[in-house]
Amino acid sequence: MGLFSVKISAMGLPKSSLTDDEKIVLEFHPHWSTLVATFFWAIVAVVVAGVIIFFIPDGDSQTLIRLIVGAVGVVAIIIVGFLPFLRWVTTTYTLTNRRFVMRDGILSRSGRDIPLTRVNDVSFKHSLIERMLGTGTLMVESGGEQGQLVLKKIPRVEYAQNQLYRLVEELTDGDGIRP
């Protein structure tokens, strides 16, 4: 099953929350490309703090100013680098043979489960650049109160869409009648 068969995170769907006949088909995080800007800004924060520290003129308060700049740099790295990375790590998507599960949150968690018997339509889209990166947007239309779910930056979106569609069809036996 490729990259999706690897269990990447302990923060995903715990096995204890599966029903007796439920099996995990796909388990993944948002695409790695969501972290590109995060890493860029973290590197910028390090470089800016380093340059400022290097060019602080000699004087009585040189050490204090360097410590303050260093502390501000560390806070900036946490805000622009570490927190978005934690958000990425704690955002998981799990497709089982019965439902599509989304979980996210660092300190407080939230989640959404869509029973596959409620899914009406599954589609995807991706631009040329997204195709080259292996990512895209997955749209899941369900009969529930919240309607359409749009998930951006999904890795191997065509494969995820195909698997989700296949499972929905298996549950409906291809005849359009929900059990």
pLDDT digits (tens, 9 = 90+) for 132-158: 999 999 999 887 667 788 999 999 999
For residue 58, what are the domain limits?
Answer: 36-86
Q: What is the pLDDT of residues 17-27, one digit of tens each?
A: 788 888 888 99
- Is the domain of 41 the same as that of 111? no
- Read off the pTM: 0.76
- Is the domain of 24 the same as that of 49? no
Distance in angstroms between the alpha carbons of the first and the last residue of the chain: 28
- Is the domain of 102 the same as that of 160? yes
Q: Counting beta carbons within 10 angstroms of the beta carbon of residue 124, is it exposed (0 to 12), middle (13 to 18) or buried (19 or more)? A: buried
Q: Output phi, psi for 58, to 5 deg.
A: -65, 145
Residue 124 to residue 155: CA distance in whole angstroms: 11
In a domain, residue 177? The reply is: no
**What total number of domains does the chain contain?**
2
